[in-house]
A and B are shown apart, each in its own frame.
Chain A
Amino acid sequence: MPAMNMIQALNSALDAMLERDPNVLIFGEDVGYFGGVFRVTDGLQKKHGVTRCFDAPIGEGGIIATAIGMGVYGLRPVVEIQFADYIYPGYDQIVSEMARIRYRSAGDFYVPITIRTPYGGGIFGGQTHSQSPEALFTHVAGLTTVIPSNPHDAKGLLISAIESDDPVIFLEPKRIYNGPFDGHHDKPVEPWAKHPLSDVPEGHYTVPLGKAAIVREGADVTVLVYGTMVHVALAAAKESGVDAEVVDLRTLIPVDIETIVASVEKTGRCIIAHEATLTSGFGAELCALVQEHCFYHLEAPIERVAGWDTPYPHVFEWDYFPGPKRIADAMLRAMEA
């Protein structure tokens, strides 16, 4: 199997689905001839034709709305929003329309759309190229929210998202497009080729939605993470010496409660980490779920490690980013409790 980075794996997923299903089509800003600012759609227009992968005007509300119309017709559009930070002009179409069309029509209409968008910080993108808005989608009834953390999952999850008959928000952690960045910004990032999960099968395969993966087994503390933070948590486990069990959620809603509960019941401790701002972040939901399901197994308070409640600061990027040191400290505090 070829070694692929996240970009190549996502490209391979799109290629496989264009090949397989004539109802799949791709559009978004700069995704056609040029192949996208992050190159995820590179070569797809040339290979599959201009009506299968084309450029859209700079109008996220229009992109999402037209995708909804296409989905209602019976197509499976995959649209790219160039940065998650640009998705807000389309938020009304996502929340009031896309998420509810199956419900409000009592199943008469549905919209099998995938919205792909790069998110997260670590690239010195400032306020408008760094945000992690996942909680704005997990809070909306009817949306499936997916975040991959490695090339293998990225491809399999994207194919599952496209094949899903429900709308999917597919957030791509852009900091790990090219390698499993672990939060050590002062060290070079290893390329994906050296990582076992860069082995990406050719052609069609799926990674199921709604299923978490245990990426590191451990006995002492459960760490619930997704996206870039999976790799930061693994570094923290290594550096703290705490035998942490790292759970990569992969799908945020519907969340894999069984895997979470089994892990926390085993370890008795739980840390939750995400890049997004702390207050009302998805970590708050995870914290409540763990408390509701595992209270009598907990031996320490649940702790959240997250972005501070400020806009994403340009020059203080690494003071803002919840790096391995902050997670390691949280693990040690949990062990001392």
Chain B
Amino acid sequence: MRNRVSLNLHIPQPKHRPGEKAEFSYVLVPKAGIVERPASDAKAQDITSLAYSLIRVLDDEGRAVGPWNPKLDPETLRKGLRAMMLTRAYDDRMFRAQRHGKISFYMKSTGEEATSVAYALALEHEDMCFPSYRQQGLLIARGYPIFDMMCQCYSNARDPLKGRQLPIMYCSRKDGFFTISGNLGTQFPQAVGWALASAYKGDDRIAVSWIGEGATAEGDFHHALNFASIYRAPVILNVVNNQWAISSFQGIAGGEESTFAARAIGYGLPGLRVDGNDFLAVYAAAQWASERARANHGATLIELFTYRVEGHSTSDDPGRYRPADEGKAWPLGDPIERLKRHLIGLGEWSEAQHETLATEIAELVRETQREAEAIGTMEGGARPPLGTMFEDVFKDMPWHLRAQRKQAGA
């Protein structure tokens, strides 16, 4: 029998567009503390429900509740708070530097700081991170100098990457931070390869990678999950679902019919779905997956459910594709505010201390920016020597590059 119903082409649409009222009633926000925490060696097939729920530790009053509470000491919590605040202050400053024409481009991580910072504290410093372009919080939390980060953005004479990369595409081998690519998703299967190498050598270090929900549509996402599952790689694969890929809502990446965490199920991997604005939940999930990987139980896929508060980069205006007040309607709050409230509730922090720290950080960022700009910005100042443009294409410079360097007048 022929189908007599007219076929419809479905094009996913977000719930609201500019001029409409922002609302997130469709976002499931379970109470904090209700999701069970299985043993980290649980069989993936026995814990599939974790891919459809939302692991949350901080409740609406800022208390840490439930089995995922990592029970961190106040010192670690304050360290996390400071790193998130520094990341945000750094982002604000560099965003403005772009608006002043001093750098060509910038991408903020506002609202998503916990997805990096909590990880940096949960992992060992020697674990290898394969980040996307919005994990500057990792470097900051690992103690990488913001002066070097700024010089990278300014492409000046002190840029550790010799002016070769777009701003924010940092790299630091000693801090376990892999060189960032502008081609999306490529780092995901590379992280799996690194993890396999670590296993091959009988090392105890693991690899961790981050990708946006938009980039999960790339083939590399599939390769990463497939290879990680086949060879039981000691790797943690994170999908930072910040709801937006430039102007495309997460439905365009395939988020309408299922969760991104649930992608893990078909590969036989555990998939955790985590409140990405909850510092403690992110920390706890990272800890669970890292325990699992270190004990040779293989990879975990973690969806960090969060919200991109700002535009994708300095090149887009989010007002053109989503309601201006959408961020205010976002139901999972702000990671810095939530952790601050928690610390205050514990009696380990105060508004006054917060104020003092914020001022201190603002001053540090301003002062460091002055130092970095004194060396050079895109507007002028000291750049890396021209001849360096021809270096590092190969280990040893072949004849044709030597000839071209001469032609370029270097």
Contacts and interface: CB of A to CB of B under 8 A. Distances in A.
Contacts of B220: 61-62, 65, 93
A142 B160 contact: no
Contact of B194 (A73, A92, A107): A73
B395 interface: yes
A68 B186 CA distance: 10
Interface string B187-220: 0111111111110110000010000000000011
B171 interface: yes
Interface string B75-119: 000000000000000000000000000000000000000000000
B190 A68 contact: yes
Q: Which 7 A-B pairs have the closest CB atoms?
A: A69-B193, A62-B223, A66-B193, A65-B189, A254-B398, A73-B197, A69-B194
A256 B219 CA distance: 38
A96 B179 CA distance: 12
Given A59-B223, A106-B160, A107-B392, 9 more contacts: A61-B219, A65-B223, A72-B190, A75-B197, A102-B394, A104-B164, A104-B171, A105-B161, A254-B399
Interface of B: 128, 130, 160-162, 164-165, 169, 171-173, 178-179, 181, 183, 186, 188-198, 200-201, 207, 219-220, 222-224, 226-227, 230, 391-395, 398-400
A108 B174 CA distance: 9
A309 to B, nearest CB: 26
28 contacts: A51-B200, A57-B230, A59-B227, A62-B223, A65-B189, A66-B193, A66-B196, A66-B223, A66-B227, A68-B190, A69-B190, A70-B197, A73-B194, A97-B190, A104-B179, A104-B181, A105-B161, A105-B171, A105-B173, A106-B160, A106-B171, A108-B172, A109-B171, A109-B179, A142-B394, A166-B394, A253-B398, A257-B400
A65 B186 contact: yes
A74 B178 CA distance: 13
A75 B203 CA distance: 13
Interface string A38-69: 00000000000001000001010110011111
Contacts of B194: 69-70, 72-73
Contact of B191 (A62, A69, A101, A109): A69
A20 B394 CA distance: 25
B227 A103 contact: no
Contact of B193 (A70, A142, A254): A70
Nearest to B165: A104
Contact of B200 (A25, A59, A101, A104): A25
A69 B398 contact: no
Q: Give the size range of A's interface with the partner.
A: 35 or more
A104 B161 contact: yes
Contacts of A65: 186, 188-190, 192-193, 220, 223-224
A317 interface: no
Contacts of B197: 69-70, 73-75
A117 B196 CA distance: 23
Interface string A237-281: 000000000000000011101000000000000000000000000
A106 B164 CA distance: 8
A89 interface: yes
Given A69-B195, A73-B194, A102-B395, A62 B227 contact: yes
A230 B179 CA distance: 41
A144 B194 CA distance: 23
A165 interface: yes
Contacts of A70: 193-194, 196-197, 200
A62 B224 contact: yes
Nearest to B186: A97
